[in-house]
Amino acid sequence: PQAIYLKDYQAPAFWVDQVKLDVALDDHQTRVISTLSLRRNDQREAGLPLVLNGQGLTLKRIELAGQPLAETDYQYQEDLLTVARVPDQFTLVTEVEIDPANNTALEGLYKSNTMFCTQCEAEGFRRITFFPDRPDVLTRFTTRIEADQQRFPILLSNGNPIERGELDNGRHFVTWEDPFPKPCYLFALVGGNLQAVKDTFTTMSGREVALEIWVEPENLHKCDHAMRSLKASMRWDEQTYGREYDLDIFMIVAVNDFNMGAMENKGLNIFNSACVLAEPKSETDAAFQRVEGVVGHEYFHNWSGNRVTCRDWFQLSLKEGFTVYRDQSFSADMNSAPVKRIEDVAMLRTAQFAEDAGPTAHPVRPDHYIEINNFYTLTIYEKGAEVVRMMAELLGRERFRQATDLYFERHDGEAATVEDFVACMAEVSELDFSQFMRWYHQAGTPKIEASGHFDADARTYQLTLRQHTPATPGQADKLPLHIPVRMGLVGPNGHDLPLELNGEQLGTETVLHLREAEQTFTFHNIAAEPVPSLLRGFSAPVKLAFDYSREQLAFLMAHDSDGFNRWDAGQRLAVLALQHLVNQIQANEPLQLDPALIEATRTLLNGEMTDKAVLAEMLRLPSEAYLAEQYEQVDVDAIHKARSFARKALADALYDDFLRLYKVNQRVGDYAPEANQIAERSLKNTCLGYLMAREDEATIALTQEQFNCADNMTDQRAALTLLAHAEDPRLGAEPLRRFGESWAHDPLVMDQWFSLQVTRPQADALDRLKMLMAHPAFSLKNPNRVRALIGAFVGQNRVNFHRQDGQGYQLLADVVIELNRLNPQIAARLVIPLTRWKRMTSERQDMMKAQLERIRQESLSPDLFEIIEKALA
């Protein structure tokens, strides 16, 4: 497979002004007739051939301007259809046959249970028909779908239905017309025996839009939350970005077999059922929030992605980073804003930073790729969102809104670039973004080393910031970035000091612009030594080091005016304590948890904090993955042992406090997935988690009671997880059996049941995983099952994935080899933890590389080929 480079971009040779598709659905022999109205882009290229993409298509017929082409007039090989002699403007008709029922890659048209559905982003449309499959070719689509009426009463595509009718042999058809030109990756088609929950939304200009969520009949009761979320998204985008919906109908379809979370096809979003279905008895608070976020995300794409799309796939973060930023802001407005920020940053700092530090590191705008599917990453999405967030910070709310208005207006109906977006920011703000653009070009996580110097005589505080971005594969030398550092200086009384910098009064908080490799900022009129609070709100996606004492961290935890930094100070304190334990473990010394962490936790548990959601976050110890991020060489076992020890030590020292908070937050009244209740459940279950670290009889009884009596999945699953993860395997056995039996009919709940068993930290987890892979509800063909079982094990059960006998690695390699044949996208994603061998101990490195080598022996898909080559480079 060959790499494709951004620098080689060329405008399309032909435009497609219109496409008429005629799709006759059949399990194995779906017939697609397409009629393309083609027009040469550049007349000077007259005479050059027409080249269309097409993958796995059986070509039955091809006509140019109404005349069948002779076999010598065209060629179909290596996924390209080339027609040698074509005029500047003409109609091309092709008829192809495809086999959806055997499409296990889940790209293009495929079957999920009994329904037909599509996934065309990034390059799935070429598996449906011949087409210039690239995002800068925007086309008006008319789609006629024909199918058996009994089995597929519902036939959907983009836009508005304009005709329907019955045919012979029990077949029927529906024709859809999408008035908006769109790239083919936004094409969608669905056929099935579906039912809908329907509603309407009146837009800000008074138009009524029909809203429909289509699901298999057994899921009708799980759609209310998605519908509420959809209406909230539509209102929010009007109020926050001035964006109104533009078609008369908006549809969502839930599909069980789906590679991604969801897809923003114009007017017909297709969702992984896990991101749209939610109901209190069967889904957790986290699932409710995920549904809200993803519904918002896909809806917001209608402007940031669909009305303004991407010129090429290198620009993917143009739509994804921006849209993640938009969905994050939406969720923050709907729920607890500080908790949303904490969750997003925690994820970024573990998973995205790990990506940045590994063999697949790439910039927010990559400059080459082999397989674009490998670039739907945390870097493109989450780091891309951080980059947009920084620009929003630099502009301020009002000017950022002016800039996005300008962007949407100027590029409406176009395929744009990152430069186009940033140009709007620059134009409105009159700021210079040339250095800032490095955030798009340079991979890797910048590190800032900060140090402070207080001069009592001069009454100054000097803050020195040094930035450095480590080398990443293919990018050895990095230039300094423009990093906005929001900060304050906290005085001895706990209040922010007035900031005077270069003779200017800046209030009590400011944004420092770090542009050089090293810069010193001198604050004047500082009477007593302050504690600096840096990178407030996580104002840039960097690692910030400052040599805080434990006393300073405890002080910031209590006094920082920035909620995010109060949380972060707690995390820093916990990291110090846990690292200390890791040292003790490695030196074979008796373990003792830092009393400062116990006291800080005691203060939290007995404090005045009114925001329970934040309190729950503050009580949570940093994850093993985040702790691993702190080391050049990772001792997986010591980290796990240290964290488990700390949990138990905290529970022993603060038993009464945890129990009291657990009891105080027992809700009475009906379950609702709303912010206050979610916060209470989160706090309560965090406390129960600590208590269960002791596995004492009283807590076991409490947990069993919660499992038996819960009226919602959040509480029930929390209790079940604790029982299933207990040292004593008997505690989980019976509850797991009962739970598995009562939810056997619901695949999404079975996914939870799978995950919580294989994330059990005890040594029997791998055996359980093997047993569960043989469970009738498991299938390697379904991405949700694979993620729930294998993905959870390798991603969330670090001690067992990294077992010293290497069996965790071997199992992953076995699965990846099989998935390489079935579903290359999922295979390439799943293998990632195996590629991060560099930071493991040397025996583990060898075992991991041996498994990568074994995978390399296979005939690999481009997806896996690219990842494995990078991992072994």
Of residues 301 and 389, the one with the C-beta less far from ligand DPP: 301
Positions in 547-566 near ligand DPP (CB under 6 A) = none
Chosen from ligand DPP, Zn ion, none, partner binding at 329 (C-beta under 5 to 8 Å by type) = none
Q: Where are the alpha helices (DSSP H) in 242-334?
A: 285-300, 316-334
Smallest distance from ligand DPP to CB 376, Å = 6
Task: Find the binder of ligand DPP among 146, 264, 355, 386 (CB under 6 A).
Answer: 264
SS3 content of the chain, % helix, strand, coil (to 5): 45, 20, 30
CB 253 within 8 A of CB 268: yes
Look-up of token digits 């044949």: 821
* Binding status of residue 298 toward ligand DPP by CB under 6 A: yes
Binding mask 320-359 for Zn ion (x = CB under 5 A): x--x------------------------------------
Nearest-angstrom CA–CA distance, 698 and 675: 30
Q: Where are the alpha helices (DSSP H) in 537-693?
A: 550-559, 563-586, 595-606, 612-619, 624-629, 636-653, 655-664, 675-692
H or E element that contains 621: none
Q: Name 726's Cβ contacts closer than 8 Å, sequence gap at least 6.
A: 692, 695, 700, 732
Bridge partners of residue 309, in order along the sequence = 415
Kindly state whether residue 216 participates in binding ligand DPP, applying the rule CB under 6 A.
no
Q: Does 788 bind ligand DPP (CB under 6 A)?
A: no
* DSSP code at position 591: P
Contact range with ligand DPP by CB under 6 A, out of 294-302, 514-522, 698-706, 708-716: 294-302
Whether the Cβ atoms of residue 506 and residue 499 lie closer than 8 Å to each other: yes
Shortest reach from residue 120's CB to Zn ion, in Å: 14
Nearest-approach distance from CB 834 to ligand DPP, in angstroms: 25
Which of Zn ion, ligand DPP, none does residue 59 bind (CB under 5 to 8 Å by kind)?
none
Binding residues among 105-124 for ligand DPP as defined by CB under 6 A? 121
**Window contacting ligand DPP (CB under 6 A); options: 210-218, 259-267, 339-347, 796-804:** 259-267
d(CA 847, CA 766): 17
Shorter beta-carbon distance to Zn ion: residue 318 or 499: 318
Give me the least distance between CB of 323 and Zn ion, in Å please.
5
Catalytic residue among 216, 264, 298, 386: 298
Which distant-in-sequence residues (6+ apart) come within 8 Å of 440 by Cβ? Answer: 317, 363, 364, 365, 387, 418
C-alpha closest to that of 520 among 467, 586, 565: 467
Choose the contact partner of 341 out of ligand DPP, Zn ion, none; CB within 5 to 8 A by kind.
none
Residue closer to ligand DPP (CB basis): 320 or 568:
320
* d(C-alpha 589, C-alpha 582), whole Å: 10
Q: Which stretch binds ligand DPP (CB under 6 A): 157-165, 170-178, 255-263, 791-799?
A: 255-263
The rounded Cα 68 to chain-centroid distance in angstroms is 47
CB of 297 to ligand DPP, least distance (A): 6
**Cβ count near 102 (within 10 Å):** 12
> Pattern of binders to ligand DPP over 518-537, x per CB under 6 A?
--------------------
Piece of the chain touching ligand DPP by CB under 6 A; list 34-42, 261-269, 641-649, 669-677:
261-269
Binding mask 789-828 for ligand DPP (x = CB under 6 A): ----------------------------------------
Q: Cβ 381 to Zn ion, closest distance in Å?
A: 7
If one asks whether residue 285 binds ligand DPP (CB under 6 A), the answer comes out as no
Tell me which stretch binds ligand DPP (CB under 6 A): 51-59, 296-304, 731-739, 753-761.
Answer: 296-304
CA-to-CA dists, residue 768 to 185, 624, 755, 759, 765, angstroms: 40, 22, 11, 10, 5
Q: Lay out the site mask for ligand DPP across 485-504 (x = CB under 6 A, - = otherwise).
A: --------------------
Minimum separation from the CB atom of position 264 to ligand DPP (A): 5
Q: Is 559 left (phi over 0), alpha (psi -120 to 50) or beta?
A: alpha
Q: Specify the residue, 375 or 753, whose C-beta has the smaller distance to ligand DPP.
A: 375
Q: Which stretch binds ligand DPP (CB under 6 A): 148-156, 234-242, 293-301, 532-540?
A: 293-301
Exposure of 732 in the CB half-sphere (CA atoms within 13 A): 26
Tell me how far, at minimum, the Cβ of 530 lies from ligand DPP, in Å.
43
- The reply on whether position 262 binds ligand DPP by CB under 6 A is yes
* Alpha-carbon gap, residue 839 to 632, rounded angstroms: 6
Peptide bond into 122 cis (omega under 30): yes
Dihedral pair phi/psi, residue 296, rounded to 5°: -60, -50
**Nearer Cβ to ligand DPP, position 178 or 320?**
320
Q: How far apart are CA 85 and CA 48, in angstroms?
A: 7
Q: Annotated catalytic, 516?
A: no
Segment contacting ligand DPP (CB under 6 A): 151-159, 297-305, 632-640, 654-662? 297-305
User: Is the dihedral angle over the CA atoms 755, 760, 761, 764 positive or is it negative?
Assistant: negative
Q: Which does 263 bind (CB under 5 to 8 A by kind): Zn ion, ligand DPP, none?
A: ligand DPP
Q: Where are the alpha helices (DSSP H) in 348-480?
A: 353-357, 378, 384-395, 397-411, 418-429, 438-441
* CA distances, 493 to each of 353, 529, 530, 553, 555 (Å): 35, 11, 9, 15, 10
N residues, the chain: 873
Report the nearest approach of ligand DPP to the CB of residue 324 (Å): 8
562 binds, among Zn ion, ligand DPP, none (CB under 5 to 8 A by kind): none
The Cα–Cα gap between 825 and 523 comes to: 52
Contacting residue, 133, 279, 292, 320, with ligand DPP by CB under 6 A: 320
Distance in angstroms (rounded) separating the CA atoms of residues 607 and 557 = 12
Interface with ligand DPP: number of residues (CB under 6 A) = 9
Contacted by 204, from ligand DPP, Zn ion, none: CB < 5 to 8 Å by type: none
Segment lying near Zn ion (by CB under 5 A), choices 99-107, 315-323, 391-399, 525-533: 315-323
**Nearest approach, Cβ of 525 to Zn ion (angstroms)?**
48
**Pattern 548-577, Zn ion, x by CB under 5 A:** ------------------------------
Query: Minimal distance in Å, beta carbon 300 to ligand DPP?
Result: 9
- Measure Cα distances from 317 to 375, 380, 382, 439, 865 in Å: 10, 5, 9, 12, 23
Nearer to ligand DPP, 313 or 567 (CB): 313
The site for ligand DPP (CB under 6 A) is made up of: 121, 260, 262-264, 297-298, 301, 320
The site for Zn ion (CB under 5 A) is made up of: 320, 323
Point out the residues that are catalytic: 298
